[in-house]
Structure 1
Amino acid sequence: TARGVLAEADQVLLATLADQAAVALESARLFAGTQQAAVRLSLLNEIGRRAAAQLEFGEMLNTTVHALHQNLGYARVAVFLLEHEPPRLVVAAANHDFRAVIPAGHFQEPGQGVVGIAAAAGETVLVQDTRSDERYVSVGDWDCLSSLSVPIKLGGTVLGVLHAEAQECRAFQEEDAAALEMAADQLAVAIQNARLFQERERRIRELGALNQMAQAVTSTLDLPTLLRTVYEQTGHLMDATNFYIALYDEEKDEITFPFVIDPEGRENWAARRAGDGLNGRLVRSGQPLLLPRGMAEADHVVNAGTCRSWLGVPMIAGDRVLGVIAVQSYTRDNVYDEEHLNYLLTVASQSAMAVRNAQLYQQIVRFSSELEGMVEARTRDLEKALDELTVERDRVETLYSITRELGATLDLDRVLQRALQLFARALGLEHGTILLLDQETDQLTMRATLDPNRRLPREGKPTHWRRGQGLAGWVLQHREPVLIADVTEDDRWVRQPGQEMNVRSVVAAPLALGGGDVLGVLILGHEKVGYFDSDHLQLVSATTSQIAIAVNNSDLYAFITDQADQLGSALQAKQEEAAKNRAILESIADGVLVLDHNGRVLLLNPAAEELLGFAAIALEGEHFRHMLGLGETQDDRDLAQALYGELRTRLETEDAAAVEQRGSIRLEAGKRVLAVNVAPLVVAIGGTPGLVAALRDVSRQAEVERLKNEFISTVSHELRTPMTSIKGYTDLLFLGMAGGLTDAQRNFLQIIKSNADRLTALVNDILDISRIETGRLRLTIEPLDVLQLIDQVIVSFREQYREKGLELQWSLPAALGQVRGDA
């Protein structure tokens, strides 16, 4: 406690001692760190050895996690493994304390939280205080304060993340990171080895299962046993809790389900059409389909219904799809992967041919059984058919002989009588009648009978039977054959008063044509009850159609003969009429040219030959265009050209009114003038009309007309010259040019002027008529005001009315509008 006791030398000594103490402490710390690192390396080496010694995947991961927890003192340790479909990190192993706080089904996506960041970046992530680090995402009841996440990598590929946590801040140092990184490297190698071992074991199981299945499917041809074997071998290597085999019937385009494992009965397994569902898609495409999450996103989405996972492969034999093998899960996603797909493809390829053989065997067994039944039935049918053919042969021979006899003549009475005689000879009968229907009276007439004592007239003997009366009327009305074993017990058989009962059994049939027309009735009888049977009825039914045809042929022959006579008479009359018409056409003075609707010349009479200047033989039967260039003179050829143009216009026009138009046409060539009248020629009702052209030479009449017109024109002009002078001098006298006029002189001059004006108007009218006839008068058609024209007329005539002591008045209407004309 005394001052000055310690000197400067003591201070130096203490500093030296402090430096040595610091060196000693650092040496001790380094020694302790070295020892701790050695211990850690030893522990990591032991952990790696244990992990490498275990090839079972789950056990190896659990051993590693528990070793890190116990030996390195980490509170919580877990291994997250990376899945690729979909990409996510799932908890593969964790110590007990860590497992207790992790939610069931927990996973982290790459890039999410410290585990996801370590996997995405491929680098170690150290968080010293999770409360202030945003990278850390709290999940569930986690309450850690620091974490260390190390990626598990092999050759640059991230397999997962080794994750450790502590409940204190800054619990992990760089040495811990290095230690976990070393452990992660060793774990990556162990994971790879375990996966290779699992793959090898799976391959061995697959080969064993495939070998067993190959032996099983080739040892049986029973289809149900075969399908169950396929199911059992499939269940060895994958989840087959829900399993089915569908078979495709190509002929019916139908899918059936002969083998189904559906414990909960979720689906309807009835047969269905091969539509667009999953099974239909596999059948159509022949390609397998894997839906790990209920749908596949390739070219388009395919929905797997209520399934969470679905895998199906087609069974193909040769180039035919036999069916589908499918497994499905209703509760979990990603149950099936590509390895399961490849295995199921191998199962399908091995079982397809066995299924095909089993199907063929079933078909052979079924066909064999059916064939035996068919042979037995065929043998019975052949025996029956032989008996029927014998009967049919006899019936056909009888039918043939009757048909041949009926075709030998067309005389109706002979046909009917011969038909009854043939029936009598074939069936041993003595009673038979053929009744024909009179279409006008609807009454049956007896035309043939086997009764030798009854003589029938040429047209037959009418009966009182009508449609619906008696047996014959019943057959006629119902148009069907009938077999009566005993006529005394059938109300349809009507016995005439006084008629002997010499017939007991009867067969009757209508004489019907193929179109349903009934011509009459055939009735055959016998004294014996039940004499006729069904074979007789068939023979009679078949023969009556031939008799009906023979009767119809006879009627047709008579009708054709009558028509031929009528047609012959009509043809002769037509020929006579045609000869008479031709003689008339050839003898008339006018030329006649006849064309059909195609323009072919049907007739050119001699007068037309003379007018046109060429022979009819050059044009008849040819198209009328061949008249071009024909003719002896240039005038003839010009007339032919003009006539061709007019006929062509009339023949080719589509206007029906123009085709029907009749009128005279003037054709001029040089000094020759032809008047042509064209009219349509209707050969058939509704047919396209041709043309008839009547030609007349009017050259002389045209010349006379021309001379008359010239004379009228000349006379008119000559008359107008003196009239002009008379009117002019009369006007001069009225003006007093020759001195004053007395009233009598003025009256005489007025008469001269009025008659001169009248004569001038007459001359003008004659000139207008001449112009109209010669076609020289041209009209200028334009809109005209009617009121203005009326005003002009009134003004021009008002002076004349006043001179005669008359007064002209008219009331002007409101409006008359305009008209078109020449003023």
Structure 2
Amino acid sequence: MSPRHAPRPNARVRRQMHDRMLEHESARDTTALRARLPDVRDAWRRLLVERCGFGTTLPDDLLIDFLETLAVFVANPDPAIPIRLAAEWREMVSLSVEGVAATASAIGLVGEALRDGLDGDATPEPAPAHHDISTLLSSFTTAFSGALMTSGEFQCSESYWYGVSCRLTQERERRITQLAILNDVSTALASTLSLDQLATIIHEQCGRLFDATNFYIATLDGDSDEMNIIYHHFGGQRVSGDGFDTVRIGLTRLVIELGEPVVFDDYVAACNERGIEVPPHIDRQKTWAWIGVPIVADDLTIGLLAMLTDQRIFTRDDATLLAAVARQAGAAIQNARLYQAQIIQANQLIVINRIARAFATIRDPRQLAAEAARRIQDAFGYGVVMIFQTNRSDDRLVLKTLAGIEGADNLVGFSLPLDERGIVGRAAATRQPVVVADVHIDDDFITSPWTAHIRSEIAVPLLREERLLGVLNVESPEVDAFSEQDVSLLTTIADQLAIALENAELLREEQKRRAEVSLILNASQA
């Protein structure tokens, strides 16, 4: 017996099923568009800025109204809907050459904005096509454009259209020029690993795009409330050695927190509102516009690129363009910093090797300690270097030598118990490096008239197979003067010094034993 087949629906039923499916798809597409309106608007705005330069001509509310009206049209394709939108559009956008050029560009880019905003970039595969939106968009924009252009206020003379065409061509050429400059920036930044040369290149290239008379680049100083000005031009001249090297973070904080460009039309007013001190070189009688964009590398904000001018205000287009420069600068600056860090590390290893060789040639422990303190200070520029050694007879640490404090020779011989008293004692007791960013707020700091100016300290134990030989102590008059790099550097030197001290002690003990044996032999032969 042959199997029974379900009866095929007739044409009317198939039509009803098709209509219900389209109605469901329309509702789904309308819901998707309404849910992603901000994403689509942002994508649309970005395209207008990047492709045409019309970033501020059309307000955000107008773009949202267009998209919301499109969503209504998708649910109910009534031709009167885009016509009403055109009437509202004419009230908000002038039918000047600029307004029509911006409108024409926006209509041409809305389809791409819908794709970018609805599908997004996060999914590995594109989202399913939004059938009704893509199908009805052409009808919607055609009706909208027709209603807009057939307005009685609209003049369609040849000279008018020529003006619109020239305006679009002008923006296209401007964008091509900007892209060429950005390409030049990329090429130039790849030509050097010198941080100062990179900063100079960035400034020169920005000068092709903006008035870069007042310009600076700053890098962030870790988690502190300061930034390092690595390049500063003001009034058309390079500023250096004028107290601008390290400054407190002011408006930069907003750029760091937001992770995006920040623009102020009145820099002085913005500082005053936030309780930020205005730099003394800024003329408060003028109205200064300020723009700052983050310099990002590996998803971390590592610095800031900023400009100041009293000639104009900065636009959203300026922010987008300057951010494009900063994105390229971020990778180049990070590479330069890594390269410089490698050079510094290589030079430090060379110096450490020389110090270790010098240690190996000295057999007297006292001379060794004095030479070590001198060489460490000379090689790395530390303010004060002290070397303590353990006294086995009474379990105390004794200061054997110091470098960097004049007239403090009477400190030599100072001793302290092998416990956690003092920062040096803490390093000895814990067998671990101790770093104190501000000794004035550390109860363990032992002060004296010769060390009253000291603000930060690092103490590293001298160890040989867990046996404590002493402590290498380095001090600075600056707060938070020591980094993780200093800890690593001084730990390496401390290891080399501990080996040299142990060898010197063994040699001295061997020489003493030989002298005793010689004395016994001489006495027995007498």
Shorter-normalised TM range: 0.5 to 0.7
* 1:23-73 Cα distance to aligned partner (Å, 9 max, x none): 322332333333333333322332333233221223322432344246532
Whether 2:456 is the aligned partner of 1:309: answer yes
| Amino acid in structure 2 at the alignment position of 1:291 | V
With over 3 angstroms needed to count, the CA separation of the structure-2 counterparts of 1:181 and 1:373, relative to structure 1, is same
| Amino acid in structure 2 at the alignment position of 1:351 | L
CA contact (8 A) 2:385 2:473 kept: yes
Structure (1 or 2) with the greater strand fraction = 1
Deviation of residue 197 (structure 1)? 0.8
CA contact (8 A) 1:69 1:77 kept: no
CA contact (8 A) 1:253 1:274 kept: no
With over 3 angstroms needed to count, the CA separation of the structure-2 counterparts of 1:281 and 1:17, relative to structure 1, is closer
* 1:169-211 Cα distance to aligned partner (Å, 9 max, x none): 42x1222111110111111101210122123223322333344
Query: Of 264, 272, 290, which aligns to 1:127?
Result: 264
Partner residue of 1:791? none
SS of the residue 1:327 aligns to: strand
CA contact (8 A) 1:246 1:323 kept: yes
Deviation of residue 263 (structure 1)? 4.8
| Amino acid in structure 2 at the alignment position of 1:120 | E
Whether 2:458 is the aligned partner of 1:351: answer no
Partner residue of 1:242? 384
Query: Of 55, 62, 66, which aligns to 2:193?
Result: 55
What is the rounded CA distance, in whole Å, between the counterparts of 2:425 and 2:476 in structure 1?
20
Normalising by structure 1, what TM-score?
0.40
Query: Of 270, 276, 279, which aligns to 2:412?
Result: 270
Partner residue of 1:156? 299
Q: Which runs of 5+ in 1 are unaligned?
A: 1-14, 384-823
What is the rounded CA distance, in whole Å, between the counterparts of 1:20 and 1:136 in structure 2?
56
| Amino acid in structure 2 at the alignment position of 1:280 | G
CA contact (8 A) 1:114 1:136 kept: no
Equivalence map 1:392-791=2 (5 Å) = none
CA contact (8 A) 2:401 2:412 kept: no
Partner residue of 1:206? 348
Normalising by structure 2, what TM-score?
0.60
Partner residue of 1:333? 479
CA contact (8 A) 1:80 1:90 kept: yes
Whether 2:206 is the aligned partner of 1:68: answer yes
| Amino acid in structure 1 at the alignment position of 2:413 | A
Corresponding pairs, count: 361
SS of the residue 2:221 aligns to: strand
CA contact (8 A) 2:388 2:472 kept: yes
With over 3 angstroms needed to count, the CA separation of the structure-2 counterparts of 1:278 and 1:375, relative to structure 1, is farther
Partner residue of 1:145? 288
What is the rounded CA distance, in whole Å, between the counterparts of 1:268 and 1:43 in structure 2?
65
Partner residue of 1:40? 178
| Amino acid in structure 2 at the alignment position of 1:360 | L
Partner residue of 2:469? 322
With over 3 angstroms needed to count, the CA separation of the structure-2 counterparts of 1:292 and 1:52, relative to structure 1, is farther
With over 3 angstroms needed to count, the CA separation of the structure-2 counterparts of 1:231 and 1:106, relative to structure 1, is closer
What is the root-mean-square deviation of aligned Cα atoms in Å? 3.5
Partner residue of 2:431? 286
What is the rounded CA distance, in whole Å, between the counterparts of 2:303 and 2:343 in structure 1?
23
SS of the residue 2:229 aligns to: strand
Deviation of residue 214 (structure 1)? 4.0
What is the rounded CA distance, in whole Å, between the counterparts of 1:136 and 1:33 in structure 2?
40
CA contact (8 A) 2:398 2:416 kept: no
Q: Which runs of 5+ in 2 are unaligned?
A: 1-152
What is the rounded CA distance, in whole Å, between the counterparts of 1:19 and 1:255 in structure 2?
96
What is the rounded CA distance, in whole Å, between the counterparts of 1:366 and 1:354 in structure 2?
18
| Amino acid in structure 1 at the alignment position of 2:233 | N
Structure (1 or 2) with the greater helix fraction = 2
What is the rounded CA distance, in whole Å, between the counterparts of 2:375 and 2:208 in structure 1?
43
CA contact (8 A) 1:79 1:91 kept: yes
With over 3 angstroms needed to count, the CA separation of the structure-2 counterparts of 1:74 and 1:19, relative to structure 1, is farther
* 1:456-481 Cα distance to aligned partner (Å, 9 max, x none): xxxxxxxxxxxxxxxxxxxxxxxxxx
Q: Which has the larger radius of gyration?
A: 1
* 1:152-171 Cα distance to aligned partner (Å, 9 max, x none): 1223311111111111342x
With over 3 angstroms needed to count, the CA separation of the structure-2 counterparts of 1:158 and 1:168, relative to structure 1, is same
With over 3 angstroms needed to count, the CA separation of the structure-2 counterparts of 1:334 and 1:129, relative to structure 1, is same
Quote the sequence identity (%).
Answer: 21
Partner residue of 1:108? 248
What is the rounded CA distance, in whole Å, between the counterparts of 2:408 and 2:205 in structure 1?
46
Deviation of residue 311 (structure 1)? 2.0
CA contact (8 A) 1:205 1:237 kept: no
Deviation of residue 278 (structure 1)? 2.5
With over 3 angstroms needed to count, the CA separation of the structure-2 counterparts of 1:190 and 1:269, relative to structure 1, is same
What is the rounded CA distance, in whole Å, between the counterparts of 2:282 and 2:504 in structure 1?
61
What is the rounded CA distance, in whole Å, between the counterparts of 1:236 and 1:62 in structure 2?
32
SS of the residue 1:53 aligns to: coil
Deviation of residue 374 (structure 1)? 6.8
What is the rounded CA distance, in whole Å, between the counterparts of 1:263 and 1:321 in structure 2?
26
| Amino acid in structure 1 at the alignment position of 2:439 | G
Query: Of 195, 217, 226, which aligns to 2:359?
Result: 217
Query: Of 338, 355, 360, which aligns to 2:506?
Result: 360
SS of the residue 2:411 aligns to: coil
SS of the residue 1:123 aligns to: coil
What is the rounded CA distance, in whole Å, between the counterparts of 2:262 and 2:256 in structure 1?
10
Partner residue of 1:808? none
RCO greater where, 1 or 2, for CA within 8 Å and sep 6 or more?
2
CA contact (8 A) 1:311 1:336 kept: yes
Deviation of residue 145 (structure 1)? 1.4
